[in-house]
């Protein structure tokens, strides 16, 4: 993706250092975060310096490779096992994280060089899968379509291209006149801050809407299709995504709006039979109680936006049952959200 006339990936590795776009500062500042070891990379994942399914996976793979590069000969195996636990404890809902860590961990049993190569391969595969998702998803988008999306599943959430936004970018570049309604996606406002920033960069017509405006727009016939990403997909098609996605799916079904999930095959969890088996991450109440933004001098500040003394509950994800999902857009094509289709897709 091009930013300020320069091509970027969301995350990459040079030598032993992992570089990533500091997403907590966007859209107000564009900065590259440098992580010198797996501890710093794990911290970046946990604190959402880097976030989004594919980007988390790529960063986790790089973190595992860093651990192999760091480990000394005397306590090599113990160091690797501890590093794996540290990385996997950062974001429990994100399937891509566990997928990437497992691949690099296994590759590292052959050699340290193999671990680094595997981490880079995972990142390349993520970008390629996102690009293919854009091509398949573009077939669903017709001239004049009004599209709603939730959270950020654009190139910031993956190594490049994204999932939910990838079809939008392809449609826009092909000359289709489209319009995007961007859910703000509280409490961290990934839609208002990140998706809107991406769409503005790409000159895609869009507007930010309150999270609770989706059903209103659908009832008015103002939404033609809704596309979101996913953080984990169970074998029966149940899907974990940013909190608020389930509500949108219910509204979409009520008003006959096609509701699609866009995700690579790495997001499917073959060990997860249904959404009931998905662990939902609960994040700090501070994300609900406080908001961040620049003051008049451009300095990022935190302000309280809720009643002082009240507590907050902050589940980061919800589970959308498969029956509310029209289809899943993958790098191998668009499938129905059912166990038979998923098994066929994964070659099981």
Phi, psi of 45 (to 5 degrees): -70, -45
Q: Which of 183, 211, 231, 269 is catalytic?
A: 231
Q: Tens of pLDDT along 280-313?
A: 999 999 999 999 999 888 888 999 999 999 999 9
**Domain range annotation of the chain:** 2-130, 133-346
Output the pLDDT for position 268: 98
Whether 126 is catalytic: no
264 pLDDT tier (thresholds 50, 70, 90): very high
Helix axes 76-88, 38-46, angle to 10 degrees: 10
5 pLDDT tier (thresholds 50, 70, 90): confident
Distance CA 262, CA 304 (A): 34
Burial 190-211 (b: 16+ CB within 10 A, else e): bbbbbbbbbbeebebebebbeb
Output the pLDDT for position 4: 83
CATH superfamily of 133-346: Translation initiation factor eif-2b; domain 2 (3.40.50.10470)
Average pLDDT over residues 2-10: 89
Q: Tens of pLDDT along 94-126?
A: 999 999 999 999 999 999 999 999 999 999 999
Q: Which helix (H) or strand (E) holds 171?
A: helix 166-173
CB 35 within 8 A of CB 50: no
Phi, psi of 343 (to 5 degrees): -60, -40
Has domain 2-130 been given CATH number 3.40.50.720? no
Average pLDDT over residues 86-100: 96
Distance CA 314, CA 285 (A): 6
**CA of residue 213 relative to chain centroid, distance:** 22
pTM metric for this prediction: 0.94
Q: Which helix (H) or strand (E) holds 18?
A: strand 17-21
Percent of the chain beyond pLDDT 70? 100
């Amino acid at each position: 993706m091009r930013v300020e006339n320069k091509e970027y990936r969301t995350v990459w590795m040079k030598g032993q250092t992992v570089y990533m776009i500091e997403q907590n500062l966007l859209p107000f500042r564009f900065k590259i975060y440098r992580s010198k070891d797996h501890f710093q990379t794990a911290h970046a994942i946990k604190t959402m310096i880097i976030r989004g399914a594919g980007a988390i996976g790529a960063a986790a793979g790089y973190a595992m490779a860093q651990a192999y590069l760091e480990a000394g000969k005397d306590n090599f195996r113990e160091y690797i096992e501890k590093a794996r636990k540290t990385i996997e404890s950062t974001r429990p809902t994100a399937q891509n994280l566990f997928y990437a860590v497992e691949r690099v961990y296994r590759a590292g049993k052959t050699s340290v060089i193999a671990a680094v190569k595997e981490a880079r391969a995972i990142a390349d595969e993520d970008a390629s899968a996102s690009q293919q998702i854009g091509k398949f998803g573009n077939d669903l988008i017709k001239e004049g379509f009004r599209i709603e999306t939730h959270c950020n599943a654009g190139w910031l959430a993956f190594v490049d291209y994204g999932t939910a936004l990838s079809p939008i970018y392809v449609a826009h570049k092909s000359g289709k006149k489209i319009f995007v309604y961007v859910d703000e996606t509280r409490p961290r406002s990934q839609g208002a801050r990140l998706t809107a920033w991406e769409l503005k960069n790409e000159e895609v017509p869009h507007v930010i809407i309150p999270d609770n405006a989706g059903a209103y727009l659908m009832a008015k016939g103002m939404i033609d299709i809704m596309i979101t990403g996913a953080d984990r997909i169970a074998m029966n098609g149940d899907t974990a995504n940013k909190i608020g996605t389930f509500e949108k799916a219910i509204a979409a079904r009520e008003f006959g709006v096609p509701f699609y999930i866009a995700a690579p095959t790495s997001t499917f969890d073959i060990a997860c039979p249904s959404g009931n088996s998905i662990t939902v991450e609960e994040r700090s109440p501070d994300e609900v109680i406080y908001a961040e933004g620049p003051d008049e001098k451009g300095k990022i500040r935190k302000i309280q936006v809720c009643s002082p003394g009240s507590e907050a509950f902050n589940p980061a994800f919800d589970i959308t049952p498969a029956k509310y999902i029209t289809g899943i857009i993958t790098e191998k094509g668009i499938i129905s959200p059912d166990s038979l289709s998923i098994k066929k897709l994964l070659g099981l």
